[in-house]
């Protein structure tokens, strides 16, 4: 017979073995994928009610941030048609990028993939994978990320000067349709790069006319895509739901308008310094150029325009930041506007999540993750975490100065991502955003007209709601 002491000891040993077995712990201390924390959910509905209570897909970044506060820096959850492992830890994020492989893969909206497949549309770098992606990405890296980029700057400067002239028509009053003005301007920059500075000067009025209609068409694509995000796009397509029909119509219209514009640019392009000519010189086929350029036009201006809105919002609220930008205008080595941009992107990343499907089984934040799992990096959360940024809720550009006593963990704010599949337009975006901010602050004193609180909401990208309203006083 067991004594009470022996029985208790045996029970503890059995319980220890049972817990270790159920937890999936391995001799190396790495936990199993099934042990990744998950939120409580309902049968069939999952966590949809929680998401709805939090503000639905418009407030997804805040919902995910709340889950990290509840469950920790790594957790798993199904959102609509996809299940993701959410990560909000800089070291783990660095590990993810180091394990992304030769051909990094990210998530693409299900509706866009289905549309391309059903109607046989070839699309650009955003949709490409494997060797095809690497071949074309390598060529585009050479054109947009490496070497002398002065050819970009010349065209940007022409278009930004034109934008400043437009703002001069809004002196001492609220700028009308600022969001639309910014979007058109950055779309003009992209088209200007394709034509070259000489070609843009020659055909500027025609370009502006085309951009006006295209702005409307692209806006509808994003608007209708958002309404499909929490649905299974495949079901919506098969059932012929109104959400799918509206999306399909908007995508067809936008692609048609974009391809007509590209054909027009090809006919008018004569400048050897233009992006279009540079792509041709890389032995890229006409079909490939059309696909890559089409996606750049559809996606690039949107993210840049909203980042500019967030930057103007931040600067208008902080008069000391405006004054410091002006005080350093005469210093060619000043890095302050760069810090302003970095701080804006830390607090208001237009893409609050970065995604990867890792090509092999990996260890992430102490958990063994099966290959091809969707990893979602929550950079909205890491960018606002007090552990990585002192006074994280405050807009303090100086924190990015290496000599600052303000903590700034660079790996916790990666708005352009890192690695082989980082943002192809990073250098262009950094230049045009900093150049535009400098020119605006040099010419005007900015005041925020909004009296209500500005919310960050998701519409494919993170946008201010309501729109930013500015009043300009000439300096």
Q: Could you report the per-residue pLDDT of 42-54, keeping only the tens digit for each?
A: 998 899 899 999 9
Question: Band of the pLDDT at 148, cuts 50, 70, 90?
Answer: confident
Residue 11 in this model has a pLDDT that exceeds 60: no
Within a domain: residue 283?
Answer: yes
- Binning pLDDT at 50, 70 and 90, where does residue 425 land? very high
Higher pLDDT, 215 or 417: 417
Q: Mind listing the pLDDT tens digit for each residue in 447-475?
A: 999 999 999 999 999 999 999 999 999 98
Q: Is the pLDDT of residue 90 over 80?
A: yes
52, part of any domain = yes
What is the DSSP annotation of 6-64?
HHHHHHHHHHHHHHHHHHT--TTSPBPGGGS-----BTTTBTHHHHHHTTGGGGHHHHH
pLDDT at 147: 84
Range scoring the smallest mean pLDDT among 10-24, 46-60, 101-115, 330-344: 10-24
Range of the domain at 451: 48-474
Residue 369 predicted with pLDDT over 90 = yes
CATH value at residue 63: 1.10.630.10
Binding residues for heme: 423
Q: Is residue 446 part of a domain?
A: yes
Most confident residue range from 145-149, 171-175, 415-419 = 415-419
> Average pLDDT for residues 437-443, to the nearest whole number?
97
Asked whether residue 349 is domain-assigned, the answer is yes
| Cα separation, 311 vs 150, whole angstroms | 24
Cβ 220 vs Cβ 250: under 8 Å: yes
First to last CA, the chain: 94
| Residues 267-315 pLDDT 10s | 888 888 899 999 999 999 999 999 999 999 888 889 999 999 999 999 9
Q: Is residue 454 part of a domain?
A: yes
The first and second tokens of residue 240, run together, are: 């012929």
- Say whether pLDDT at 26 is over 50: yes
**Does residue 5 form part of some domain?**
no
Please state the residue numbers annotated as binding site.
423
Reduced to 3 states, what is the DSSP secondary structure of residue 84?
A: strand
User: Does residue 358 belong to any structural domain of this protein?
Assistant: yes
Token output for 347: 């607090």
Evaluate whether residue 38 is within a structural domain.
no
pTM, 2 dp = 0.91
Which is more confidently placed, 335 or 148?
A: 335
Handedness of CA 95, 87, 78, 219 (dihedral sign): negative
192-234 pLDDT, tens digit each: 999 998 888 888 887 777 888 888 899 899 999 988 877 789 9
- Residue entry with tokens 């959850």: 77
Confidence of residue 24 (pLDDT cuts 50, 70, 90): low
| Predicted confidence (pLDDT) at residue 332 exceeds the cutoff of 60 | yes
Domains of the chain: total: 1
How far is the C-alpha of 463 from the C-alpha of 240, rounded, in Å?
A: 30
Per-residue pLDDT at 31:
96
Q: What is the mean pLDDT of residues 187-195?
A: 94
pLDDT cut 90: percent of the chain above it: 75
Model pLDDT, residue 58: 93
What value does the mean pLDDT take over residues 23-33? 73
Q: Could you give the dihedral angle defined by the CA atoms of residues 463, 183, 460 and 112, in that order, rounded to the nearest 10 degrees?
A: 180
Query: What confidence score (pLDDT) does residue 420 get?
Result: 96
Peptide bond into 66 cis (omega under 30): no
């Amino acid at each position: 017979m067991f004594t009470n002491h022996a029985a208790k000891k045996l029970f503890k040993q059995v319980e220890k073995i049972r817990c270790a077995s159920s937890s999936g712990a391995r001799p190396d201390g790495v936990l199993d994928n099934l042990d990744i924390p998950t939120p409580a959910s309902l049968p069939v509905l999952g966590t949809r009610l929680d998401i709805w209570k939090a503000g639905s897909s418009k407030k997804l970044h805040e919902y995910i941030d709340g889950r990290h506060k509840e469950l920790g820096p790594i957790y798993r959850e199904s959102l609509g048609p996809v299940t993701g492992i959410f990560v909000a830890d800089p070291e783990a994020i660095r590990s993810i990028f180091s394990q992304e492989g030769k051909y990094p893969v990210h998530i693409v909206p299900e509706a866009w993939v289905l549309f391309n497949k059903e109607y046989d549309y070839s699309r650009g770098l955003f949709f490409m994978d494997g060797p095809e992606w690497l071949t074309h990405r390598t060529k585009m890296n050479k054109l947009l990320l490496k070497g002398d980029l002065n050819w970009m700057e010349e065209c940007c400067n022409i278009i930004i000067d034109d934008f400043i002239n437009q703002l001069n028509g809004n002196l001492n009053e609220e700028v009308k349709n600022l969001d639309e003005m910014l979007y058109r301007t950055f779309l003009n920059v992209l088209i200007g790069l394709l034509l070259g500075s000489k070609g843009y000067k020659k055909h500027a009025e025609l370009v502006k006319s085309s951009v006006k209609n295209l702005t409307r068409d692209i806006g509808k694509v994003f608007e209708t895509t958002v309404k499909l995000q929490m649905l299974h796009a495949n079901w919506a397509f098969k059932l012929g739901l109104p959400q799918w029909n509206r999306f399909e119509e908007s995508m067809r219209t936008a692609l048609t308008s974009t391809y007509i514009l590209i054909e027009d640019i090809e006919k008018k392009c004569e400048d050897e310094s233009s992006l279009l000519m540079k792509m041709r010189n890389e032995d890229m086929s006409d079909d490939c150029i059309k696909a890559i350029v089409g996606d750049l036009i559809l996606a690039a201006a949107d993210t840049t325009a909203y980042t500019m809105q967030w930057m103007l919002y931040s600067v208008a609220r902080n008069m000391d930041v405006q004054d410091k930008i002006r005080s350093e205008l005469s210093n060619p080595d000043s890095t302050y506007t760069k810090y302003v941009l970095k701080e804006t992107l830390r607090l208001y990343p237009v893409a609050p999540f970065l995604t990867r499907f890792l090509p092999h089984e990996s260890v992430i934040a102490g958990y063994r993750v099966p290959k091809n799992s969707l990893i979602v990096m929550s950079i909205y959360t890491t960018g606002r975490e007090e552990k990585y940024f002192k006074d994280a809720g405050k807009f303090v550009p100086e924190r990015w100065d290496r000599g600052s006593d303000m903590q700034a963990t660079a790996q916790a704010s990666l708005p352009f991502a890192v690695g082989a599949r980082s943002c192809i337009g990073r250098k262009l975006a950094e230049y045009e955003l900093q150049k535009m901010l400098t020119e605006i602050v040099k010419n005007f004193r900015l005041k925020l007209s909004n009296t209500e609180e500005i919310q960050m909401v998701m519409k494919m990208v993170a946008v201010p709601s309501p729109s930013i309203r500015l009043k300009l006083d000439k300096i």
